Copies of this chain bind each other. A is one copy, B any other.
């Protein structure tokens, strides 16, 4: 099955319009802070949420709104996470009501999200004031998705947007997504948000099953700083306008849909990791030769989460001992004496560890390999044929600066 990456984002699929504006939640006038994405018709809807016991109010409202597996639009503000506020639910529901008032879409069919400052009351006033403009700017062009993608950014330095075309039973379908990475504008919490649209027809149950399975290999394998946010949410709207027969069970069509979903989410994960707080490099860990999938994933995740390794990667330092250390404390059941480790990048490959012990390597080549901006730590456990990939980034001065800044 062929998946083609195409231009645009959430407006690439048929029947979706988007817009984004600055309504005044964020002080910086040049930063958009309110996004709206709507479908012409009611869609199959599904979402996965943060596992943090502390959950943003919008998450509770969204869960309720899509409990019937249906929704028609996304609304998301940046600059305030609407979390740990006494009136959070009321505000989140208020945002949904505003959507109904200005678009006619039932408030119960709205997926609502917020990202930004935590523990500070969110006022509906700027949102209400901005709705007219937000709705008037709705469009299905690439620039409309671009505006929405930029409106959900916090300290992201680049927008995260991707779109693909694929076939289901010979019917051309499209899927697009936007997301935001971990940014901390004082004093908020890193939040990961991803909104995906598709014109493929799929039942709510199968859509939920698809994203639940996908997330375990994509977003749940991504870590910037190990802090699970309070507002994380990945949600999908499938409006069926591509005209394929609705996917209502497992099979070839469902697998095709999952492959397209994975192409979108995997790309978004890499974008988010590379643009992690203060990051200068993407840190990817590919684990192969694992006895089972869980072992492969546990090892890969532990490696990209190692604070010591992240700092070493920033310094282009082939500190493979830190890789072995992270594998050793990962909790995975494995034989350390079978482990081989290599560092890979566009500049080449350097083998640093064989059978759990160091091997001689050229410092010069190692430094060249690790000076690239996309580094892969390749770990072979030599104990089976299962694989996994995890994504992270280096730990830099800017990470400390951005997150250690005084309130100003």
Contact B119 A325 (CB under 8 A): no
Say yes or no: A315-B403 contact (C-beta < 8 A), given A52-B328, A307-B225: yes
Looking at the assembled complex, report how far the CB atom of A216 sits from the nearest CB atom of chain B, in whole angstroms. Answer: 17
Contact B357 A227 (CB under 8 A): no
Question: Which of chain B's residues has its CB closest to A53's CB?
Answer: B328
Q: Mark A239-264, 1 if CB is under 8 A from B, else 0.
A: 00000000000000000000000000
Residue of B318, B325, B397 touching A400 (CB-CB under 8 A): B397
Contact A315 B404 (CB under 8 A): yes
- Judged by a CB distance under 8 angstroms, whether A156 is at the interface is no
Looking at the assembled complex, report how far the CB atom of A321 sits from the nearest CB atom of chain B, in whole angstroms. Answer: 4
Residues of B within 8 A of A225 (CB): 307-308
- Judged by a CB distance under 8 angstroms, whether A27 is at the interface is no
> Is chain A's binding surface mostly helix, strand, loop or mixed?
loop
- Judged by a CB distance under 8 angstroms, whether A201 is at the interface is no
Contact A226 B226 (CB under 8 A): yes
Residues of B within 8 A of A312 (CB): 187, 403-404
Looking at the assembled complex, report how far the CB atom of A394 sits from the nearest CB atom of chain B, in whole angstroms. Answer: 8
Contact B54 A119 (CB under 8 A): no
Q: Mark A65-109, 1 if CB is under 8 A from B, else 0.
A: 000000000000000000111100000000000000000000000
Say yes or no: A314-B54 contact (C-beta < 8 A), given A84-B321, A184-B308: no
Contact A52 B329 (CB under 8 A): yes
Contact B406 A395 (CB under 8 A): no
Residues of B within 8 A of A189 (CB): 308, 321-322, 325
Residues of B within 8 A of A39 (CB): none
Contact B403 A308 (CB under 8 A): yes
Say yes or no: A119-B187 contact (C-beta < 8 A), given A328-B53, A403-B312, A406-B317: no
Residues of B within 8 A of A395 (CB): 400, 403-404
Residues of B within 8 A of A55 (CB): 328
Contact A396 B400 (CB under 8 A): yes
Q: How many residues of A contact B (CB 8 A)?
A: 66
Contact B84 A319 (CB under 8 A): no
- Judged by a CB distance under 8 angstroms, whether A24 is at the interface is no
Residue of B334, B401, B404 touching A53 (CB-CB under 8 A): B334
- Judged by a CB distance under 8 angstroms, whether A358 is at the interface is yes
Contact B396 A357 (CB under 8 A): no
Looking at the assembled complex, report how far the CB atom of A388 sits from the nearest CB atom of chain B, in whole angstroms. Answer: 18
Say yes or no: A311-B403 contact (C-beta < 8 A), given A54-B324, A230-B325, A325-B52: yes
- Distance of A336 Cα from B52 Cα, bound (Å): 10
Contact A84 B227 (CB under 8 A): no
Q: A311-B403, A394-B404 are in contact. List 4 more A-B contacts (CB 8 A).
A: A84-B321, A187-B317, A317-B404, A396-B404
Interface residues of A (CB under 8 A from B): 51-55, 83-86, 118-120, 184, 186-190, 225-230, 305-308, 311-312, 314-322, 324-329, 334, 336, 353, 356-358, 363, 367, 394-397, 399-407
A-B contact pairs, 19 of them (CB 8 A): A54-B325, A54-B336, A54-B356, A84-B356, A86-B357, A119-B320, A187-B317, A189-B321, A189-B322, A227-B307, A227-B308, A228-B325, A311-B402, A314-B404, A315-B405, A394-B404, A395-B400, A395-B403, A400-B400
Top 5 closest pairs, chain A to chain B, by CB: A315-B404, A54-B328, A311-B403, A118-B321, A119-B358
